[in-house]
Amino acid sequence: MYPKVTIYTLILALITLSWMVPGGPVETRSFSNVDSAIVLGFNIFLTSLVLGALVLIYFMFKKQKWAYSLTFLVGVAFVIVFLLDLLGIFPVSLDSMSQLLFILEILGTLFGFSLMYLSYVTLKYTPSEYWSETFQIPFGLILLGICLLLFGVYVIYFATKSALH
């Protein structure tokens, strides 16, 4: 039970985060007051977090124990990113946060804590026979990964340009 709940919680967390891309439907604040290199670095981090989590989802479905360990770290990253913004520490915009963004960031923080908890209980309480010792990465998945990386570069460009408007 825990493995599937962990996977679906991560999927929901990623969907929630995807709504908050600068220039998207929810994140409309300007970060033109922040150095462009810092905004770029932050967008690289967030995009890497999302792409890495997408890869983890595949390996979680393949019953790879190490993927659940890394999911704990994804949860930590979610909590840190959202709390830094909610507490007004980083990134700081001259525009105020919309109510919808505030709610989504609270949800993102809760998802982060949930992922930490769920990955822990999954690793602790899932019987050893559940886990798969081996896995193969299909060629199609490698091609999909390359496409995701290219899409990630576009997202970083779009999000950075939008945040600095």
Per DSSP, the residues of 84-114 read HHHTT-SS--SSPPPHHHHHHHHHHHHHHHH
Residue 41: its pLDDT value, please? 94
Alpha-carbon separation of residue 53 from 16, 46, 152 (angstroms):
13, 11, 13
Residue 49 has pLDDT above 90, yes or no: yes
Residue 21: its pLDDT value, please? 86
Residue 143 has pLDDT above 90, yes or no: yes
Rounded mean pLDDT, 121-141: 92
The residues near 94 (Cβ < 8 Å, ≥ 6 apart) are 29, 30, 32, 33
Confidence of residue 36 (pLDDT cuts 50, 70, 90): very high
Q: Using an 8 Å Cβ cutoff, are 159 and 22 in contact?
A: yes
Rounded mean pLDDT, 124-140: 91
What is the distance between the alpha carbons of residues 5 and 122, in angstroms, rounded to a whole number? Answer: 9
Question: What three-state secondary structure class fits 152?
Answer: helix
Residue 22 has pLDDT above 90, yes or no: no
The residues near 9 (Cβ < 8 Å, ≥ 6 apart) are 111, 114, 115, 118
Rounded mean pLDDT, 34-41: 94
Q: Each residue of 74-96: pLDDT tens digit?
A: 999 999 999 999 999 988 998 99
Q: How many CB atoms lie within 10 A of CB 5?
A: 13
Confidence of residue 25 (pLDDT cuts 50, 70, 90): confident
Mean of the per-residue pLDDT values of the chain:
94
